Amino acid sequence: MSYYFTKSRVETFSDGIFAIIITLLILEIKVPHIELSESISELSEDLLHLAPKFIAWVISFLSVAVIWVNHHRIFESLKHINHAVFWLNANLLLWVSFIPFPTALMGDYPNNKLAVSFFGLSSLMMGIAFLIFRFYMWKRPEITNDLSDEYLRRGVWNVLLFGPTLYLFGTATAWIHPYIAFAFYALVTIYFIFPQTAASQKTEE
Amino acid sequence: MSYYFTKSRVETFSDGIFAIIITLLILEIKVPHIELSESISELSEDLLHLAPKFIAWVISFLSVAVIWVNHHRIFESLKHINHAVFWLNANLLLWVSFIPFPTALMGDYPNNKLAVSFFGLSSLMMGIAFLIFRFYMWKRPEITNDLSDEYLRRGVWNVLLFGPTLYLFGTATAWIHPYIAFAFYALVTIYFIFPQTAASQKTEE
Amino acid sequence: MSYYFTKSRVETFSDGIFAIIITLLILEIKVPHIELSESISELSEDLLHLAPKFIAWVISFLSVAVIWVNHHRIFESLKHINHAVFWLNANLLLWVSFIPFPTALMGDYPNNKLAVSFFGLSSLMMGIAFLIFRFYMWKRPEITNDLSDEYLRRGVWNVLLFGPTLYLFGTATAWIHPYIAFAFYALVTIYFIFPQTAASQKTEE
Amino acid sequence: MSYYFTKSRVETFSDGIFAIIITLLILEIKVPHIELSESISELSEDLLHLAPKFIAWVISFLSVAVIWVNHHRIFESLKHINHAVFWLNANLLLWVSFIPFPTALMGDYPNNKLAVSFFGLSSLMMGIAFLIFRFYMWKRPEITNDLSDEYLRRGVWNVLLFGPTLYLFGTATAWIHPYIAFAFYALVTIYFIFPQTAASQKTEE
């Protein structure tokens, strides 16, 4: 029996799941049915009603892209993929593959507090999956590319602060008003896209 | 004419199928339709009714991950992929790609003995596909990475004991009570995730 | 501007399409809706009614696997992928990605002559796409791995005989009786799985 | 923190998305429901009514293939994938993954000016995503494979002329007559398939 997995195959498998999830999201938005097939006013009205769904779709698309970036960063740090890492990754992918359901729920009922909170809860579970993964890497530095204890600990803290914590706020504030939760969900994505990109750009120069 | 297939392409093709199957499972769970779009009680009740579907989804997700691990282990042992191996692999993938149907059936009718037994039967066919694959490798050791007869024979026995046998028990006991079958289906998955991971962890140390 | 495509990326793209098509086929088979959720007689009857759909699914699954094998064989012979080859490949993939539609049509109406003939017609188009591809390779041997004129010409003939010709018979005989067409569609698949595998096995020894 | 992404993983992820989108397009075309399951006249009539959907499908399939070719060309020119390039690519993929929606809309309402114009608008957004990408490469030549300013500037102009401009014409002329827009959408695809292939063939010789 071999103790390690071929890294490239685990990556291909994971990338496949990411690619499918990010692509399936659009399928939840159905073409509206109009009575008069040439009516512009009827169709434009129906398209406008789909606006919350389009917004939910963009948020989810960017969220999955952000998750991919973090997944990529973790795998770049890994030297070996043992059984434990494989299942920590599978746990993460389980929550990633769940995303279409809460996205559709939130898109269908954007004013329902439970629906919006549910999206946060499932994102929170996904964030916790990242946290456990990072924590395991910190405790087993020998499976990483000789990374320092300092670097690995910072990885745990970063995930904790910008993942689970923000999603927890979203899950909770949805009960005050769904739009506050939307803001928190968008914030996670914006944080990972803009300041992080700016920071990496700077160091690059 | 070439007699062997490019291993990496067969792996990419197989990994693609695994990734799609594992991701599609969630699509079987539809967002509930509620009358009052802001009603929390109505939505929470409907979400609770989906519980058996969520459980069926988690079992199937982990089952596919377990199948992937075993598939990875087989391909790691193979040196050459000839036509026979390709079609043994295709037979396995046929049963893997069938999984969404029995999963949805079991999720829709968790108290229907036939539905729960059907899930076991289709998993049994998948297990037999693994068994034939392992048996062929044992009889044709020259296509493997110089593995010993002892190692290859043990591979056949392991698959037999923890795959088809347990699924056969599930298929049969579903007729006594569906929940006994659920236990067997969960057992296969738990066996491959926990003790196997613990064992490999130990040897690793 | 570069004149050649990166072969590995065209392969990944093609393999992705094959993996998706072969996996999506099962989604066309919907879980039957039964009135009494615990009724075994009702469910077993409904599952039996799905038999033609299961048969159509197996035929299509194996057909896609056979197409993959032939696609693999062509790409193994290619040294360079120029623009013409890319579009010949895209034409082939267009017909491959069409398969779920005629499969569902034939599964829904197995006794409708037009439905069964339509499956043959679309397979015929796919076979012709292979034929044009092989013909181009024969006329431009410099893009292949230094293959002989004899070898390339035989490739054209093999495709012609066992692809378009058999599908043409199926398309035509469906109008006499759908089951004769089924036999022809199954024949293409059986030819590529069994005698070809046996032949390659023999040469291997 | 690393400043660059592993190019092969970004490519696998992107190729996965392209493969899924190009394959999902056919799923929008549903098998017609006929009353008399053996009726040839009823089925043939229903299949003929699907003609606009088949045409929309072919246009979209070829469009995605054309986008893939341009994506391939860009990635071939890139030496490094930094955070900015990753998100420029994600922006492009967002619009690519949106394609099934406007395709289904245009297929359902081919005579509705808004539906046909909407297809052009979403293609225009995708074209603009390419334009920004090319513009960034021109301004940051150090991330490319030492390409000349002249070459990179020409890349910007080519995209501008044959992407956004033609799609803008389509978006606008749909309001005169949908079929003029169809012609523009087909033109983009034809331009990239035929003259470009002919040109590259010529240089190759």
pLDDT in tens, C140-196: 999 998 888 998 898 888 888 888 899 999 999 999 999 999 899 888 888 888 877
C1 pLDDT more than 50: no
Percent of chain D residues topping a pLDDT of 70: 95
How far apart CA D122 and CA D101 sit, in angstroms, is: 10
- Which chain C residues are closer than 8 Å to B21 by Cβ? 23
pLDDT at C175: 96
Most D CBs within 10 Å, among C24, C27, C97, C126, to test the D interface? C97
- Which chain C residues are closer than 8 Å to D65 by Cβ? 87, 90
pLDDT grade, residue D22 (50/70/90)?
very high
For tokens 């893997």, name the residue: B96
Task: Verify whether the Cβ–Cβ distance A38 to D113 is below 8 Å.
Answer: yes
Q: Which residue has the higher pLDDT, B197 or C87?
A: C87
D90 touches A at CB < 8 Å: yes
When pLDDT is averaged across residues D111-117 and rounded to a whole number, the result is 94
How far apart CA C94 and CA D189 sit, in angstroms, is: 15
Show pLDDT as tens, one digit a residue, over chain A (205 residues). Answer: 456 888 888 998 999 999 999 998 888 888 999 998 889 999 999 999 998 889 888 988 998 999 999 999 999 999 989 999 999 999 999 999 999 899 889 988 989 999 999 999 999 999 999 999 999 999 999 989 888 889 889 888 888 888 889 999 999 999 999 999 989 988 888 888 887 767 766 665 4
Task: Find the closest chain B residue to C12 by CA distance.
Answer: B12
| Chains in contact with C via at least 3 Cβ–Cβ pairs below 8 Å | B, D
| Chain C nearest C-alpha distance from D50 (Å) | 12
Q: Which residues contact C2 (CB under 8 A, 6 or more apart)?
A: D73, D76
Q: How many CB atoms lie within 10 A of CB A3?
A: 15
**CA nearest to D146, candidates D76, D71, D68:** D76
C55 pLDDT more than 80: yes
Task: Find the closest chain D residue to A63 by CA distance.
Answer: D90
Most A CBs within 10 Å, among B15, B25, B44, B203, to test the A interface? B15
**CA nearest to D18, candidates D81, D87, D70:** D70
At D26, list the tokens: 């056919």
B145 touches A at CB < 8 Å: no
Q: How far is CA B24 from the centre of its chain?
A: 14
Percent of chain D residues topping a pLDDT of 90: 56
B6 touches C at CB < 8 Å: yes
C197 touches B at CB < 8 Å: yes
Task: Verify whether the Cβ–Cβ distance A200 to D24 is below 8 Å.
Answer: no
ipTM strictly over 0.95? no
How far apart CA B30 and CA B108 sit, in angstroms, is: 11
Q: How many residues does chain D have?
A: 205
Task: Verify whether the Cβ–Cβ distance C86 to D76 is below 8 Å.
Answer: no
How far apart CA B57 and CA A17 sit, in angstroms, is: 16
At C85, list the tokens: 């080859």
pLDDT at B204: 53
Provide the mean pLDDT of chain B. Answer: 89
Q: How far is CA B86 from the centre of its chain?
A: 19
Nearest to B112 among C19, C43, C203 (CB): C43
**CA nearest to C58, candidates B167, B93, A70:** B93
C197 pLDDT more than 80: no
When pLDDT is averaged across residues B135-149 and rounded to a whole number, the result is 91
- Which chain C residues are closer than 8 Å to B16 by Cβ? 15-16, 18-20, 23
Nearest to C15 among B9, B87, B94 (CB): B9
Task: Verify whether the Cβ–Cβ distance A112 to B38 is below 8 Å.
Answer: yes
Q: DSSP assignment, residue D148?
A: -
For tokens 């499908």, name the residue: D57
Percent of chain B residues topping a pLDDT of 90: 57
| Chains in contact with A via at least 3 Cβ–Cβ pairs below 8 Å | B, D
C-alpha distances in Å from residue B53, one per residue of B59, B110, B118: 10, 8, 16
Question: For residue range D126-174, what is the model confidence (pLDDT) as tens digits?
Answer: 999 999 999 999 999 998 988 889 988 988 888 888 888 999 999 999 9
- Which chain C residues are closer than 8 Å to D15 by Cβ? 9, 12-13, 16
C-alpha triplet A41, A45, A48: angle, nearest 5°: 140
Task: Verify whether the Cβ–Cβ distance C20 to B16 is below 8 Å.
Answer: yes
B139 touches C at CB < 8 Å: no
How far apart CA A3 and CA A56 sit, in angstroms, is: 41
When pLDDT is averaged across residues B39-67 and rounded to a whole number, the result is 91
pLDDT at C202: 64
| Chain A nearest C-alpha distance from D102 (Å) | 8
Task: Verify whether the Cβ–Cβ distance D38 to C112 is below 8 Å.
Answer: yes
Helices of type H across chain D: 7-24, 40-49, 51-77, 83-98, 100-108, 113-139, 149-162, 164-173, 178-204
B136 touches C at CB < 8 Å: no
| Chain A nearest C-alpha distance from D202 (Å) | 36
Most B CBs within 10 Å, among A9, A29, A116, to test the B interface? A9
C37 touches B at CB < 8 Å: yes
Task: Verify whether the Cβ–Cβ distance A43 to D6 is below 8 Å.
Answer: no
Q: Is the pTM of this model over 0.80?
A: yes
- Which chain A residues are closer than 8 Å to D2 by Cβ? 73, 76
When pLDDT is averaged across residues B52-80 and rounded to a whole number, the result is 90
For tokens 């088979």, name the residue: C29
pLDDT at D201: 62
How far apart CA A132 and CA B108 sit, in angstroms, is: 33
How far apart CA D107 and CA D115 sit, in angstroms, is: 9
| Chain B nearest C-alpha distance from C15 (Å) | 5
Nearest to B87 among C27, C37, C197 (CB): C197
C93 touches D at CB < 8 Å: yes
| Chain C nearest C-alpha distance from B205 (Å) | 37
| Chain B nearest C-alpha distance from A65 (Å) | 16
Residue type, A76: E
- Which chain B residues are closer than 8 Å to C54 by Cβ? none
B55 touches A at CB < 8 Å: no
Question: For residue range C109-140, what is the model confidence (pLDDT) as tens digits?
Answer: 989 999 999 999 999 999 999 999 999 999 99
C91 pLDDT more than 50: yes
Give the H/E segment covering residue A46.
Answer: helix A40-49
Nearest to D16 among A19, A31, A72 (CB): A19
| Chain D nearest C-alpha distance from A74 (Å) | 10
Task: Find the closest chain B residue to A80 by CA distance.
Answer: B204
Residue type, B125: M
Give the H/E segment covering residue B4.
Answer: strand B4-5
Task: Find the closest chain D residue to C83 by CA distance.
Answer: D197
Q: b/e map of B11-22 (b: 16 or more CB within 10 Å)?
A: bbbbbbbbbbbb
Task: Verify whether the Cβ–Cβ distance B97 to C18 is below 8 Å.
Answer: no
Question: For residue range C2-53, what is the model confidence (pLDDT) as tens digits?
Answer: 568 889 889 989 999 999 999 988 888 889 999 988 899 999 999 999 988 8
C-alpha triplet D195, D198, D199: angle, nearest 5°: 85
pLDDT grade, residue C203 (50/70/90)?
low
Task: Verify whether the Cβ–Cβ distance C73 to B9 is below 8 Å.
Answer: no
pLDDT grade, residue C201 (50/70/90)?
low
When pLDDT is averaged across residues B14-32 and rounded to a whole number, the result is 90
D94 pLDDT more than 90: yes
Least confident residue range of A74-88, B63-77, D180-194: D180-194
Task: Find the closest chain A residue to B192 by CA distance.
Answer: A83
Cβ A133 vs Cβ A92: under 8 Å: yes
How far apart CA C46 and CA B100 sit, in angstroms, is: 17
Task: Verify whether the Cβ–Cβ distance B61 to A118 is below 8 Å.
Answer: no
How far apart CA C119 and CA B100 sit, in angstroms, is: 24
Nearest to D31 among C24, C98, C105 (CB): C105
Could you give the 3-state DSSP secondary structure of residue B144? strand
pLDDT grade, residue B1 (50/70/90)?
very low
